[in-house]
Structure formats: structure tokens, C-alpha cells
């Protein structure tokens, strides 16, 4: 009798989802599905709104990366009004945005991902969380993590009013500059943040890479997929979270295409499947070939590892060193190891913190000239940033009064939908043998998607949004077991 394993809700991720795993008569995996189980409909209910309100509405897509939606939305609004914002406004937005990346990456690594390694996937589920992690690292380190991530939130709230659901970025710039006192406070925090970013990478090396069990996992075929990768780069091909061109590399690491964000529709299409609320974006010019990897399949991946792969490096000194160490560890120019997303995330955090130091130490950051008033008739605009979880596209059309008529969003996590689905299937096939599946195995399967830091809240913008996860095991169409975790 064939079986299905359901893990529900999948946990330690932002949103609602479940995993179904199908077994044959011998209890080996024949198929699996990574399902997102909700939707909210932002693209629909933003129609009819004044476009300048969207930078305040769109962040509500996601409380973990509201800053990314705030930025992409503001940039789309700038484009709708065909307006160039003052340099001081751009710098302030960049300062805000790097703080945002830092908050999100630290949150994911320490609160959501690290517990799979410390105390570990084989620890009891009740300990596999940030509190269990702190029991091992000590309360002082725990408090340090909280404090530094708190700094990242603080910087965002100083600039944008509030870190969760920022408000200050509007078409033409920002609603207010920062004061000298605020700038001094940010400067001080930035140095501690940069130092802790280095400590975090060291922790990763000491606790995970130095442990053969985890090192083998990272290198294991169970967690490898050879796909295309996408990321935003500056004029020198280095990673840029706020602005630039979109670069895509193929599974061999060769450039496939580099395009202007406003031309995204020439390169990306989205497929609908009836068994999930989340669409599957793919490279139009390669085509949809099903849920498979390789050069013939249009599936691409985004987020930290993809950005590293798609770029030629980092524009800051310490992050560049960390970048080089990363590629020399894998001894290759393109890394397909899904668990390496975690390491890449910490390298990006170091880059973000170096940028925060640089921008906050520049005297121009308190320049009050942070706004221009739009004068052109509004029409159509596309705003793209690298969200913590990958490239984020906002595309708006308005009538002549600036009232929104059409919205299209391609969020980061959706672009990893196929990647996550494949990763879960490969992990399940390699780990579940003859029906044997214990809690530690199921957690290792969850690790396959958790590496992507999936944000199903974001993903479900079009959906009714939710994603803790459930794994079901099915055999001959019958559910033989749902995973119970005790």
C-alpha cells in the first residue's frame, strides 16, 4: 500500500505551507509536493488606491521584509511619476535598506535556521528553536543577538518611522531627513553591527563547518540542485540590494542574460498549478519544463546564494574577503549547495553592515534635501530591489490622476517555489528508505526548504497568506501517517 507523509504546519518560516510525500509499496519516495496554502489578493485590492499610498500599503504583504516592499514600491512610484530623487534621499533609503537586510538575515539565521545545527536536527523538537540555541550559546550571546538585530530595527525606525511597516518613503524621496543626533546614534550602532557580523560568520565556521556531520550535509548530493541564478548587480557586477541591472547566470556559472529591471516581462513568466496557491516564475527564454533542474529547465533561484553566484563579488573589503573564502571552500566558481544559502546570508549581512558604516559616516547623510515634488502626469512604473529573500518586482499602472489600475508583483519567495519543491523531493528521496521516517529525518527534509528562508507571507500576497508546514505520507492514495512531533 503506498503512503503519504504530511508535515503540517511547516515551521520556522514566515507563512503557511505543507509538504506531502508519496511512497510506493516498499515505502520509498515516488513524489512530493511543496504546497502554499493561502492567498490575500494585494494585486486586486490595490486597484483603485492612490499610487502614493502603495508604499504604505505594500509593506503589509510581509512583516518580516516590509522594508523591501516599501523600497520596491517607492521606486515604482518614482517611475510612475518619472521623477529622479535627490542623492541625499537615495543615500538615506540605502542606509535604511541595508539595515533592513541585516535585520532579516540575522533573524533568519539565529531564530529560524541555526537551531537545526545548534542544538541540531536530531534534538527534541521542543528545543529546536532560538531558546534551545541560546541554551547552548549562553544567554549573553542570546542577548547580543537580540540587541544587534534590535539596532537594525532601530535604524529603520529612525529613518522610516517604524521598522515593521515603514512609512517615510514617498514618490520623490522621503517625508523627512534625519537629525544630527539620530545620525550619531546610527554611527555608533553601525560599528557594533559590523563587528557582530564578523562574529556571526566565525560562529558559522566554528559551530557548523568545523563539525563533520554538518559539513558533510552541506556538501551532500541530498542538498544540491543545478539551476539558473538571478541577482541585482551594480555597474561593476557587484551585489547591490537597492538598484542596478538584473543578471542571470546559467548552471555552469556563465552569464545567461543581463537586463534592465523595466524589461522584466521579456524574461520572466509565471505558471499556475492547481495544487498550490503560489505561482511558479520561470525564465521565459528557456521555458517551463516541469519541476526539474538543469540547463534545459527555466527554473531559477534567488536569495543570498543566488546573488553571490550571479555577481562578481562584493564592493566592500571585509565582505569580499568572506566571499573569496566561501568560493575557495567549495573550490568552484558556482555553488549549487542549497544549505550554503545560510553562509551566503551571513556574508551579505557583513556587506550590509559595512554599507551602514560607510553611509552613516558620510556627512551628507544629514542633508535635508530629501524630497522633490513630482510634476509629470503619472502613468506606469516598475520598481525592483533585492529583497532579503531575492529579487522583488513591483509594477504599477495608473490613470492620469495617479489612481492605480493594474498591479503586478513577483516576490522573492515565489521565484524559489520550484527550487524549494525540488529540494524537498530530493531530500525526501534520499532520506526516507523503506518507509522509515522519524522526526529527525523529517526535520532534515524541512531543512531543505528552510535554507531558502521562504516567506510564504510574501508569497501569498496574491493568496490568503499563511505557511507553517505539514508533512503527509501517502501510499496508494491513502494517508498512512501525518507527522506528529513530540
* Binding track, positions 7-26, relative to another protein; x by CB under 8 A: xxx-xxxxxx---x-x----
From candidates 27, 35, 98, 389, binder to another protein by CB under 8 A: 35
Q: If binding is defined by CB under 8 A, does position 45 make contact with another protein?
A: yes
Q: If binding is defined by CB under 8 A, does position 313 make contact with another protein?
A: no
Segment 58 to 117, residues that bind another protein, using CB under 8 A? 60-64, 66, 77, 81, 107, 111-112
Nearer to another protein, 205 or 397 (CB): 397
Nearer to another protein, 146 or 431 (CB): 146
Nearer to another protein, 254 or 266 (CB): 266
The residue count of the chain comes to 486
From candidates 79, 95, 410, 418, binder to another protein by CB under 8 A: 410
Segment 251 to 280, residues that bind another protein, using CB under 8 A? 264-265, 268-277, 279
From candidates 49, 187, 205, 215, binder to another protein by CB under 8 A: 49
Q: If binding is defined by CB under 8 A, does position 429 make contact with another protein?
A: no
Q: If binding is defined by CB under 8 A, does position 130 make contact with another protein?
A: yes
Dihedral, CA atoms, 304, 281, 451, 422, nearest 10 degrees? -140
| Measured distance CA(432)–CA(437) in Å, rounded | 6
Interacting span for another protein (CB under 8 A) from 235-243, 312-320, 325-333, 399-407: 399-407
From candidates 25, 26, 406, 438, binder to another protein by CB under 8 A: 406
Q: If binding is defined by CB under 8 A, does position 40 make contact with another protein?
A: yes
Q: Residue 451's closest CA among 123, 198, 116, 165?
A: 116
Segment 157 to 186, residues that bind another protein, using CB under 8 A? 157, 160-165, 167-168, 170-172, 175-176
Nearer to another protein, 143 or 433 (CB): 143
The CB-of-341 to another protein minimum distance in angstroms stands at 19
Bridge partners (DSSP) listed for residue 403: 50
From candidates 301, 395, 425, 426, binder to another protein by CB under 8 A: 395
The CB-of-450 to another protein minimum distance in angstroms stands at 11
Nearer to another protein, 354 or 443 (CB): 443
Interacting span for another protein (CB under 8 A) from 56-64, 200-208, 291-299, 428-436: 56-64
Nearer to another protein, 350 or 411 (CB): 411
Binding residues for another protein, rule CB under 8 A, total 118
Segment 141 to 160, residues that bind another protein, using CB under 8 A? 143, 146-147, 149-150, 153, 157, 160
Nearer to another protein, 345 or 395 (CB): 395
Note whether 445 and 436 are within 8 A (CB): no
Dihedral, CA atoms, 163, 168, 173, 178, nearest 10 degrees? -80
Q: If binding is defined by CB under 8 A, does position 424 make contact with another protein?
A: no
The CB-of-96 to another protein minimum distance in angstroms stands at 11
Residue 42 burial (C-beta neighbours within 10 Å; 0-12, 13-18, 19+): buried
Segment 342 to 381, residues that bind another protein, using CB under 8 A? 371, 373-374
The CB-of-139 to another protein minimum distance in angstroms stands at 8
| Measured distance CA(78)–CA(372) in Å, rounded | 10
Nearer to another protein, 50 or 138 (CB): 50
Amino acid at each position: 500500500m503506498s503512503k503519504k507523509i504530511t508535515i503540517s504546519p511547516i515551521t520556522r518560516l514566515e507563512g503557511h505551507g505543507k509538504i506531502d510525500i508519496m511512497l510506493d509499496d516498499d515505502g520509498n519516495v515516488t513524489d512530493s509536493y511543496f504546497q502554499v496554502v493561502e492567498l490575500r489578493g494585494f494585486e486586486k485590492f490595490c486597484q483603485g488606491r492612490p499610487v502614493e499610498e502603495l508604499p504604505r500599503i505594500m509593506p503589509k504583504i510581509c512583516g518580516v521584509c516590509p522594508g523591501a516592499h516599501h523600497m520596491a514600491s517607492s521606486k515604482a512610484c518614482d517611475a510612475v511619476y518619472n521623477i529622479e530623487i535627490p542623492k541625499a534621499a537615495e543615500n538615506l533609503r540605502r542606509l535604511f535598506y541595508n539595515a533592513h537586510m541585516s535585520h532579516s538575515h540575522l533573524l533568519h539565521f539565529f531564530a529560524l535556521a541555526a537551531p537545526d545545527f545548534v542544538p541540531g536536527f536530531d534534538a527534541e523538537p521542543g528545543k529546536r528553536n532560538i531558546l534551545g540555541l541560546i541554551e547552548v550559546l549562553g544567554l549573553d550571546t542570546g542577548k547580543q543577538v537580540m540587541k544587534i538585530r534590535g539596532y537594525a530595527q532601530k535604524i529603520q525606525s529612525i529613518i522610516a518611522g517604524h521598522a515593521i511597516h515603514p512609512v517615510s518613503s514617498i514618490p520623490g524621496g522621503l517625508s523627512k531627513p534625519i537629525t544630527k543626533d539620530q545620525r550619531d546614534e546610527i554611527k555608533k550602532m553601525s560599528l557594533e553591527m559590523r563587528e557582530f557580523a564578523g562574529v556571526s560568520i566565525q560562529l558559522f565556521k566554528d559551530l557548523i563547518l568545523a563539525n563533520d556531520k554538518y559539513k558533510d550535509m552541506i556538501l551532500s548530493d541530498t542538498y544540491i540542485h543545478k539551476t539558473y541564478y538571478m541577482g541585482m548587480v551594480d555597474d561593476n557586477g557587484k551585489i547591490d540590494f537597492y538598484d542596478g541591472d538584473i543578471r542571470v547566470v546559467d548552471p555552469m556559472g556563465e552569464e545567461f542574460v543581463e537586463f534592465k529591471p523595466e524589461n522584466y516581462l521579456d524574461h520572466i513568466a509565471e505558471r499556475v498549478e492547481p495544487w498550490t496557491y503560489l505561482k511558479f516564475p520561470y525564465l521565459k527564454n528557456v521555458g517551463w519544463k516541469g519541476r526539474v533542474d538543469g540547463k534545459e529547465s527555466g527554473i531559477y533561484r534567488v536569495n543570498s546564494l543566488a546573488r553571490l553566484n550571479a555577481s562578481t563579488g562584493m564592493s566592500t573589503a571585509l565582505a569580499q574577503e568572506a566571499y573569496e573564502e566561501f568560493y575557495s571552500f567549495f573550490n568552484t566558481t558556482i555553488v549549487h549547495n542549497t544549505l550554503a544559502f545560510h553562509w551566503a546570508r551571513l556574508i551579505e549581512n557583513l556587506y550590509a553592515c559595512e554599507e551602514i558604516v560607510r553611509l552613516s559616516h558620510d556627512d551628507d547623510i544629514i542633508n535635508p534635501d530629501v524630497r522633490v515634488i513630482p510634476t509629470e502626469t503619472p502613468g506606469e512604473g516598475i520598481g525592483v530591489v533585492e529583497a532579503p529573500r531575492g529579487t522583488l518586482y513591483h509594477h504599477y499602472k495608473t490613470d492620469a490622476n495617479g489612481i492605480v489600475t493594474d498591479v503586478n508583483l513577483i516576490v522573492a519567495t515565489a521565484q524559489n517555489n520550484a527550487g524549494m519543491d525540488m529540494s524537498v523531493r530530493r531530500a525526501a528521496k534520499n532520506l526516507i528508505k523503506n518507509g522509515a521516517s522519524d522526526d529527525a529525518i523529517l526535520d532534515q527534509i524541512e531543512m531543505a526548504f528552510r535554507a531558502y528562508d521562504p516567506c510564504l507571507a510574501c508569497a501569498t500576497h496574491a493568496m490568503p497568506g499563511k505557511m507553517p508546514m505539514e508533512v503527509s505520507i501517502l501510499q496508494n492514495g491513502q494517508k498512512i501517517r501525518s507527522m506528529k512531533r513530540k
